[in-house]
A and B are shown apart, each in its own frame.
Chain A
């Protein structure tokens, strides 16, 4: 008898063997199935929901995938031999409840149990996203999630430009862009999506050209129109996150109201000369209730107190800083990592070189997102923001 067979026989007495059916039942009760086969084997299929950690990197990756050492683990490979060695290693790492799936994936298939063919990256995508794939917070699963995600950018201007560039670079699969405007030469001081040669052409078409050149894998959905109470839900529906980079109060309130109604996170940014603000309005955030825009500002300021950037100016790079904070928040939300800026406002003062964080509390009496509030419907936003009572 070879040494490996002797060792396997010993291990069989130490690690409990389960059948594929028992493994499936354990998984349903909260156990993790860990597939330790090689990438090319897994590409042919794997049990749905299995953690595909690979034998080579198993010890390095397992603690990120299964932080709880008490969680039951079912190890599996093609036949049940490699997984038995793997189970022994995990036992040494401190995992207490280990099972080995006898007969491996071959028996799983023979018994007609469900199989999932995991989506794969082609060589180009693997290279493009290699810096993401290296980080456990993104990894293959996170990158696949980004590729399947849909983000709507309201405005292809100062904030929308940098946000869209980095979201496209990061591999967010679908980017919707709403803008009714044409590129103006005065935009080019900050709106890096556009070029001098495209002055006078549609902003959404220009944005699409730039983003598809940067990452042809990204699907750009252009909406060359103005958001209105009538079209807002049709457009927002189906997106995972909305990035508000609009330049006027009527649109800000409209986007807020629609996001509240549809339960979407609204990644907000605003700039003025050398100052900017960023936050995430998301009353339905699952970790804690966040405020909406109306909790913070129930009424817009009268026009004379709120000059626009077109009237007051803005340092070209300032929306770059804030737009990038918006894209960071968007990626965090899509990946489900970190602490999103829900209930916190970041204020950036470029001249002082200072970031200040302020707390934003939800208003329990908010008519739009407050406790027990019934959505009161869309209003005439131009009138609402003109200061004339409706």
Chain B
């Protein structure tokens, strides 16, 4: 089990009491996300679909790489890795 930093995008910070980064542990991206979901009620369904895959308007990055380009949610994580949740943002502030 490794502890990783998960970066929370602004629209989802209401689920993390405003925190922009939280720590979670797991051996894979899926395990980390599941631990994150257990700590912060309501967050996971915003990010993952019923099959546990990233929803179509969200990307999950491990470091600089999209997990889709790695081994998906089964991608192993290392101690101190950074996971970023990047949702689609429309705002151009018109």
Interface positions of A (Cβ within 8 A of B): 155-160, 179, 181, 187, 190-191, 244-249, 252, 269-275, 277, 296-301, 305-309, 312, 314, 319, 345, 347, 349, 351-352, 356-361
Interface pair A312/B88, CB less than 8 Å apart: no
In the bound complex, residues from chain A placing their C-beta under 8 Å from that of B88 are 249, 296-297, 300-301, 306
B79 contacts the other chain (CB 8 A): no
5 contacts between A and B (CB under 8 A): A190-B93, A246-B94, A272-B89, A305-B46, A307-B11
Pick from A157, A305, A312 the residue with the most CB of B within 10 Å. A305
A297-B57, A358-B65, A359-B64 known; 17 new pairs, CB 8 Å cut-off, are: A269-B92, A272-B9, A272-B91, A275-B89, A299-B56, A300-B88, A300-B90, A305-B11, A306-B87, A306-B88, A307-B11, A314-B91, A314-B93, A319-B93, A358-B64, A358-B66, A359-B69
B71 contacts the other chain (CB 8 A): no
In the bound complex, residues from chain A placing their C-beta under 8 Å from that of B57 are 297, 299-301, 305-306
Known: A296-B59, A358-B61. A247 touches B91 (CB 8 A): yes
B84 contacts the other chain (CB 8 A): yes
Interface pair A351/B92, CB less than 8 Å apart: no
A352 to B21, CA, bound (A): 11
In the bound complex, residues from chain B placing their C-beta under 8 Å from that of A246 are 90, 92, 94
Known: A305-B11, A307-B11. A277 touches B93 (CB 8 A): no
Interface range, B side: 20 to 34
A272 to B69, CA, bound (A): 26
Interface positions of B (Cβ within 8 A of A): 9-11, 20, 46, 55-59, 61, 64-66, 68-69, 84, 86-94
Interface pair B65/A359, CB less than 8 Å apart: yes
Interface pair B94/A157, CB less than 8 Å apart: yes
Of B64, B65, B86, B90, which contacts A247 at CB under 8 A? B90
A151 to B21, CA, bound (A): 38
A371 to B61, CA, bound (A): 24
In the bound complex, residues from chain B placing their C-beta under 8 Å from that of A160 are 92, 94
Interface pair A274/B10, CB less than 8 Å apart: yes
A158 and chain B: residue at smallest CB distance: B93
Interface pair B90/A249, CB less than 8 Å apart: yes
Interface pair B86/A358, CB less than 8 Å apart: yes
Known: A305-B11, A359-B69. A351 touches B89 (CB 8 A): no
A303 to B35, CA, bound (A): 27
A156 to B92, CA, bound (A): 9
Interface pair B89/A306, CB less than 8 Å apart: yes
Interface pair A158/B86, CB less than 8 Å apart: no
A245 CB to nearest chain B CB (Å):
4
